Amino acid sequence: MRKTKIICTLGPATESAEVLHAMIHAGANIFRLNMSHAPHDWVRVIVPRIRAIAKELGVMVGILMDTQGPAIRTGDLPTKLDLKVGDIFEFTVRGTQSEEHYSVPVNYDGLIDDISVGDVVLVDNGNIHMKVLNKKGNRIRCEVLTSGTMGSRRHINLPGVKVNLPPLTEKDLADVAVGAEMQVDYVALSFCREPSDVEELRRVLRSHDSTARIVAKIEDQLAVKNINEIIETTDVVMVARGDLGIECPMEDLPIIQRKIVKRCLMKGVPVIVATHMLESMIANPVPTRAEITDVANAVFEQADAIMLSGETTVGKYPVKCVEVMHKVATRIERSGGAGYGEEAMLEDDRQKTVRSAVSLANSLPDSKLVVFTRRGTMADYVSNLRPNAPIYAFAPNYEVCRKLIVNWGTYPHYLPFDANPGRTIGSAIQTLVEAKLTKKGDHLVIVSDMLAGEERFDTIQVRVVG
């Protein structure tokens, strides 16, 4: 069974019931809604569609809403601009008119205050480089360093520049409200820069009575600088390599990815590796060898999940992409992993109890870990230690089950808990046997509670099926 989870972004190529059905069969675990492009009416249609198909197939499927975030973009241009090295280009704010031949307005008025002479400006995913020469009024005068064609509404990156944008825009707030209404399982915070950004989103979610897990997207140098504090605050981390690869030196990107994955495993926070994993398969039925190696590296590092973006929104082979990821991940998992989970920090008695259960399961042949959890915490602890055995997590709440889908090696199941823990364990074992997830002779290492008078205690049990 594959332990690394697969996240697929939905779009025109994958929104139909038929394709969703095929993607789940191929191995999709979580569907991502990119709110940079998704209207609210579409969200209200697609979420029930996903839930209905998952129910029909009898599987747990998660839904991740990804906010657009406070992106800095150029304005509209009547025609595209062909820029050459040495050209002078101006960015303008607050409706100011430029006196230069090449210019474009910017959607962020504070850019004039945040940027400094000598700073580098990257436009259109880093394809066009410019250097700030001077600032005059509401105009930023730059020299073009790399030639390229600039179109309308291009994304601007400012490596090393701290911008004073709010963590959530008005659009983000409206999108989160719809996500809470539709009970999405995860909400991603784009361009998360510091712990207070996560706390602001958590406050907004609570105001909507949403318990969605927060995914902090690491996309710039400031986020990398504050990574330890962000990990302490968020529920999940995403290494969003698109903007991150523009904001940071490209040769540092693999090191940053490894550092973040390792730190997340040490602190017990699920981590997602995203962007450009099978980019060539947007147009081609077969990935490049480099892409296969990239996916393999993320799986070897034992990231909780790997993500597809354009490959499954507008690509020609969305189901094939899922199949490729499933095949590569399954094969690499059999060859072993980086072992970062062995360095996990155990801060309380419950975590140490879980460590004992994992050690016991690793020592037994044909073992399975069975975890009973009301809020998902114990299942989080078990997954973070990256055991050899699969983790079957039973919870009495569908929302908790879906929030555990992102966890490495974890397969959540809904099960109402009996007042007597023994009867609950019996029901869970029966569920696993009927689903052919365990068989006679298997060792089940069970993490649950037990009754002693009126008190409950965490326990570890070993049972042999049959």
Catalytic residue set: 32, 73, 217, 275
Distance CA 360, CA 73 (A): 54
Residue in this structure with the two tokens 């016991």, named with its chain if needed: 360
CA-closest candidate to residue 384, choices 435, 332, 339, 444 = 339
371 residue type, one letter: V
Distance CA 333, CA 303 (A): 11
DSSP designation for 417: P
Q: 53: which residues sit within 8 A by CB, 6+ positions away?
A: 17, 20, 21, 24, 61
Distance CA 111, CA 105 (A): 11
DSSP helix/strand/coil, 163: coil
Q: 195: which residues sit within 8 A by CB, 6+ positions away?
A: 226, 229, 230, 232, 233
Strands 81-83 and 148-150: antiparallel
DSSP helix/strand/coil, 133: strand
Q: What's the burial of 399, exposed, middle or buried (CB within 10 Å: 0-12/13-18/19+)?
A: middle
* 153 alpha carbon, distance to own chain's centre: 25
192 residue type, one letter: C
Strands 367-372 and 443-452: parallel
Distance CA 375, CA 445 (A): 20
Distance CA 382, CA 352 (A): 10
